[in-house]
Structure 1
Amino acid sequence: MSQGNNTPLGIGLMIATTFIFAVQDGLSRHLASEYNVLMVVMIRYWFFAAFVMAVASRRAGGIRAAAQTTQPVLQAFRGILLASEICVMVLAFTILGLVESHAVFTCYPLLVAALSGPILGESVGWRRWAAIAVGFVGVLIILQPGMGVFDPAALIPLLAAAMFAVYGLLTRYAAKADNTATSFFWTGVAGAVTMTLAGIWFWEPMTGPDWLVMACLCVTGISGHWLLIRVYEVAEASAVQPFAYFQLAFASVIGLSFFGEEVRANVIAGAAIIVAAGLFTFWRERLQRRSRQLL
């Protein structure tokens, strides 16, 4: 993938991407509250896999070139892990709502930083460890484990964040031997196969209006991933990644406006702490990358 340096365009595309993904989450929340989560994610993955194969067929060498890898087990596991994480997160939407689920999920960059040492062997300095610790104070503020009866369901989006963090690190590890097109292809195809094997047993008829919602869900999924590809084509990841936090704001607006969710003070405070800690880790990573480039 050829990468440009048009940071303003990349930021604009990233904000648009987060809006589309927030709409996708709202559509998923609606459908998963009416139908089985596995079926909803399965249909979504069918369209995602079709999009992935269409993208691969337009590149040099076609689908065969995109599928070639020296690490098929790793690539397949990545796809299975992401599909599982999506199921867990959609389940969280139906139990906790969009606002609280996304507030907890925003800690995944901190989990990436914490796990990059043991998984990738990267060095994590004391400043980033301090930011990670502060971020998890924010998670505890949201979860409130010591306030009355603790709801174990609050751990569901935290599990999704951990799964997504591991997926991101494995993607970075896979990039040592495979290009972006190959990883993208395996993500879609392995996920679609996994969800078909799991979700086909829970098939149930959908109403006409809900099929329209499902069509919108598939369109937002495809357009969101296409825009995300464009984001990383036109700008450096470190420059645009902090703007991914806009998804929390957009999802919160959708949750408040369409699902009647409430925003508790502890959720706002905890989310603000998590976002601040995450932005600090992105800033530190960018500084370290620049210093390595100057050496």
Structure 2
Amino acid sequence: MFLLSSRDTRARAILLMIGAIFFFSAMDSTAKALAQEIGVLPTLWARYAGQTLFVLALVARRFPGVLKTRHPRLQLARSLFLLLATASYFVGISNIGLAEAAAIMNINPVLITLGAAVFLGEGLGIRRILGIAAAMTGALIVIRPGGEVFTIYAVFPLAAACCYSAYALTTRFVGRDEDIWTSLVYTGLIGAGILTLMVIPVWVMPSTKELALMALIALFGTIGQLCLIRALSQGEAGMLAPFAYTGLIFATFWGLVLFDEWPDGYSLLGAAIIACAGTYVWYRETFGARRP
């Protein structure tokens, strides 16, 4: 009975993780379309301001008790990590293809696996080192520094991957004994507060279409964030990490359907190397370590 319950919990965590990645990819594609109309900063503000309004409406009856936290510094840190990750990624997708940006961003599962090992006191084995090296090689193939197709904007998804990995690890730690709504409120309030101060000087009243896109960004981002926190609260970060690679599929789909973006052979090769490296590290550390 215990084993069945444990398996059900893992399966639920995996489905929540895939759901989170789907909604985040939908948010990214909407943000790419909106950023082309009004710029990155207002788009980023819409993502956070909208999520904050949704969350505050849902927790209105529990306010201000929902603000009580055992980890105020970690809540601030994880919120800043996510803000930096989202800002970097939005800059990236506004200037390069969704599939290419997603491929670079998807080195984060390897970084999460590495971080979970380091911060949980596990040893840094040769497999993890090789996995990190392979994933970075794949990212370099996609970015292709020095090549004719290279653009500095390809570096932004790489920065986003590092920040997101730090966010995921702190979320996993905080989620062990923190209310999910507390985490959502802090993520929204901190991000929205900082971005509101930044967007005021450049604000221009958006059109009806742009307001609709803003609402979609907020909705997709909120649902994705909720699914992610739930997933990381119910499953181990290392176990869930490989399922983030579904984002490659979702990003390629949205890029083809909405923006007519066709990833080239190098991008596909780099994405495959990144996915294989992450899956290998996850498999060896999750299943190989259990073998006597």
TM-score of the superposed pair, with normalisation by structure 2:
0.84
Summarize deviations over 1:78-107 as a string: whole Å, max 9, x none.
212311221111111111121111110000
- Helix, strand or coil: the match of 2:204? coil
- How many Å separate the matches in 1 of 2:114 and 2:10? 27
Aligned-residue CA RMSD (Å): 3.1
Task: Quote how far apart the aligned CAs of 1:180 are.
Answer: 4.4
5+ residue gaps, structure 2? none
Evaluate the alpha carbon distance shift between residue 174 and residue 122 of structure 1 in structure 2; reply closer, same or farther with a 3 A threshold: farther
Aligned to 1:24: 27
2:129 matched to 1:129? yes
- How many Å separate the matches in 2 of 1:138 and 1:105? 11
1:202 maps to amino acid:
V
- How many Å separate the matches in 1 of 2:76 and 2:6? 26
2:271 maps to amino acid:
A
Aligned to 1:165: 165
- How many Å separate the matches in 1 of 2:148 and 2:198? 37
2:34 maps to amino acid:
L
- Helix, strand or coil: the match of 1:147? coil
Task: Quote how far apart the aligned CAs of 1:48 are.
Answer: 1.3
Task: Quote how far apart the aligned CAs of 1:276 are.
Answer: 1.0
2:36 matched to 1:33? yes
Give the stretch that moved more between structures: 198-207 or 155-164: 198-207
Count of aligned pairs between the two proteins: 288
- Helix, strand or coil: the match of 1:95? coil
Summarize deviations over 1:162-209 as a string: whole Å, max 9, x none.
111222233345457755444333222211211212222221121112
Aligned to 1:153: 153
1:276 maps to amino acid:
C
- Helix, strand or coil: the match of 1:145? coil
Evaluate the alpha carbon distance shift between residue 104 and residue 7 of structure 1 in structure 2; reply closer, same or farther with a 3 A threshold: same
5+ residue gaps, structure 1? none
Give the stretch that moved more between structures: 171-180 or 206-215: 171-180
2:206 matched to 1:206? yes
- Helix, strand or coil: the match of 1:5? helix
Summarize deviations over 1:125-164 as a string: whole Å, max 9, x none.
1111111111111112112224357432221111111111
- How many Å separate the matches in 1 of 2:169 and 2:229? 18
Task: Quote how far apart the aligned CAs of 1:63 are.
Answer: 3.6
- How many Å separate the matches in 2 of 1:170 and 1:232? 10
